[in-house]
């Protein structure tokens, strides 16, 4: 085990008091194979010993503290596994930027609209802004209309988090993907990965004669 892994395990162990390290007069027992309730600490330790398991304090701030009778190593493994699952579920927010000019033509607009739909399908947020260069700040009303049109055209894909806001030379809106859209995108990715895996497995099981014949051709 590398040093970082050992430190993580030590930190996890230090979070919980077990057996004789639990120094309180009484505890509340919960879990399987025991009668849930409040017990003197001596009795709780005896019950744990009779099961050939450990008394683990899982909620020290409760009154009285809550303990579970379990195998401590198994308990640590389950906690570590749960932490990994929670970390995997946490989604990193990706923000994609799309820039317009105050007088963007329809061709450029539609091109960027398609890109925005792709970003939202992938679950990313979209930050769209109009950049006013020099005297083009005089057209800020056009910029606002452009951004509101953009948000309206993406209504099926996104919700508008922020109305057009002018900050310096930029007028910005923020769009978040609708859950149904991002869920469909995730399902499509999973399906594509499954198809790719199945195709690879099929290729791996092809007879070697086919490969030889291809080489001869």
pLDDT at 182: 47
- DSSP reduced 3-state for 42: helix
Q: Provide φ and ψ at 9, rounded to 5°.
A: -65, -40
Percent of the chain with pLDDT over 90: 47
pLDDT at 93: 79
- DSSP reduced 3-state for 15: coil
Decide: 29 and 36 in contact? Cβ < 8 Å. yes
What pTM value is reported for the model? 0.45
Regions of the chain short of the pLDDT cut 50? 1-7, 181-183, 205, 207-217
Max CA pair span of the chain: 84
Which domains are seen in the chain, by residue range? 3-89 (3.10.20.80), 95-179 (3.30.110.10)
pLDDT at 208: 46
Residue 86 parent element (H or E): helix 72-89
């Amino acid at each position: 085990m590398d040093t970082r892994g050992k430190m993580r395990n030590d930190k996890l162990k230090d979070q919980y008091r077990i057996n004789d390290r639990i120094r309180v007069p009484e505890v509340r027992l919960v879990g399987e194979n025991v009668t849930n309730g409040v017990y003197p600490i001596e009795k709780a330790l005896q019950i744990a010993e009779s099961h050939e398991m450990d008394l683990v304090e899982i909620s020290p701030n409760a009154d009285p503290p809550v303990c579970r009778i379990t195998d401590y190593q198994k308990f640590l493994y389950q906690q570590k596994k749960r932490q990994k699952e929670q970390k995997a579920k946490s989604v990193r927010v990706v923000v994609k930027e799309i820039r317009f000019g105050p007088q963007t033509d329809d061709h450029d607009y539609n091109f960027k609209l398609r890109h925005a739909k792709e970003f939202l399908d992938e679950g990313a947020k979209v930050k769209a802004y109009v950049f006013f260069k020099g005297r083009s700040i005089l057209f800020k009303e056009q910029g606002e209309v452009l951004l509101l049109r953009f948000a309206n055209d993406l209504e099926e894909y996104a919700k508008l988090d922020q109305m057009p806001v002018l900050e310096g030379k930029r007028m910005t809106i923020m769009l978040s993907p609708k859950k149904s859209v991002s869920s469909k995108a995730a399902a499509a990715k999973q399906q594509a990965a499954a198809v790719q895996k199945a195709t690879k497995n099929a290729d791996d099981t092809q007879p070697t004669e086919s490969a030889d014949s291809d080489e001869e051709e």
